[in-house]
């Protein structure tokens, strides 16, 4: 009877060391930290978004055509064929394609590819995946899934998770800054960059509560919070993301 017990311990240890387990535990910690940030701002949680992206320069092997890149990523994500729609754009310097559809599990997702000329004769391509309405406890699984799909394009992929909330009143500029600073304090984050406008405050920094990080302007960052007041609706939108906000705000 000792053998089954030993096997059970072995399988538990194997799972504990697996990427899936690390993603699950990391997502739970990240979700709890993000929920605390949204709550301390006084907002109610509205949605959770995952955005993944990859840069494909001219040294990467394979195609850089937007449509082919988008369809390749969609196939790796196992997007449903039903309900797919495509939108394309082009100007003298860039061209691109966006695919909108649904992921298995019912989540709305978009995959966008763009190729642009950054210098004469030098092309650069990007692919961006945006997944909306995710359960915060499942972000680890979907971040890994999106990064694996993007890695097939030939570049190193990254992924960010963004939490959005809303306060049912319009805060003034002083209150916006105070709220953003309170969120950074809650995360124990050092502020590396501050953007203050009439109805918007955005703070970016480094927090010990989040693992993912990004190098920006020779600094490490892994947390971005923002508050924006809508003067017409008289409400305030609150955002918290790691490492940076990639959704529109």
Q: How far apart are CA 183 and CA 152, in angstroms?
A: 36
pLDDT at position 2 is 45
pLDDT single digits (tens) 22-54: 556 767 899 999 999 999 999 999 999 999 999
pLDDT at position 52 is 95
Count Cα neighbours of 100 within 13 Å in the Cβ-side half-sphere: 6
Q: Is the pLDDT at 131 greater than 90, yes or no? A: yes
| Residue 80 in tokens | 């449903």
pLDDT at position 58 is 61
Q: Is the pLDDT at 163 greater than 60, yes or no? A: yes
Q: Is the pLDDT at 59 greater than 70, yes or no? A: no
Report, as an integer, the average pLDDT of 151-163: 87
Q: pTM to 2 decimals?
A: 0.85
pLDDT bucket at 61, cuts 50 / 70 / 90: low
Q: How far apart are CA 104 and CA 101, in angstroms?
A: 10
More confident residue, 32 or 62: 32
Q: How far apart are CA 246 and CA 228, in angstroms?
A: 15
Domains of the chain: residue spans and CATH = 21-242 (3.30.2030.10)
How far does the chain reach from its first CA to its final CA, in angstroms? 59
Report, as an integer, the average pLDDT of 183-187: 97
Is residue 8 within 8 Å of residue 129, measured between CB atoms?
A: no
Is residue 186 within 8 Å of residue 37, measured between CB atoms?
A: yes
More confident residue, 175 or 246: 175
User: What is the chain's alpha carbon radius of gyration, rounded to the nearest angstrom?
Assistant: 20
């Amino acid at each position: 009877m000792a053998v089954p017990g030993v096997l059970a311990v072995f399988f538990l240890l194997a799972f504990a060391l697996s990427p899936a387990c690390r993603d699950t535990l990391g997502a739970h910690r990240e979700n709890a930290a993000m929920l605390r940030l949204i709550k301390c701002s006084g907002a109610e949680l509205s949605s959770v978004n995952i955005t993944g992206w990859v840069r494909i320069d001219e040294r990467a092997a394979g195609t850089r055509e937007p449509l082919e890149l988008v369809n390749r990523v969609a196939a790796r994500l196992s997007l449903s064929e039903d309900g797919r729609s495509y939108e394309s754009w082009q100007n003298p310097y860039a061209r691109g394609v966006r695919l909108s559809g649904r992921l298995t599990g019912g989540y709305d997702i978009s995959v966008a590819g763009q190729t642009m000329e950054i210098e004469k004769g030098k092309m650069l391509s990007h692919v961006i995946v945006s997944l909306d309405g995710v359960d915060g406890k499942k972000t680890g699984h979907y971040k890994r899934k999106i990064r694996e799909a993007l890695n097939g394009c030939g570049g190193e992929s990254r992924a960010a998770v963004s939490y959005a909330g809303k306060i049912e009143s319009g805060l003034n500029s002083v209150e916006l800054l105070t709220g953003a600073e309170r969120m950074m304090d809650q995360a124990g984050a050092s502020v590396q960059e501050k953007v203050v406008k009439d109805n918007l405050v955005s703070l970016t920094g480094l927090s010990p509560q989040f693992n993912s990080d990004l190098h920006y302007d020779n600094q490490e960052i892994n947390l971005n919070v923002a508050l924006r007041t809508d003067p017409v609706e008289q409400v305030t939108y609150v955002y918290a993301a790691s490492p940076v906000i990639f959704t529109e705000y």
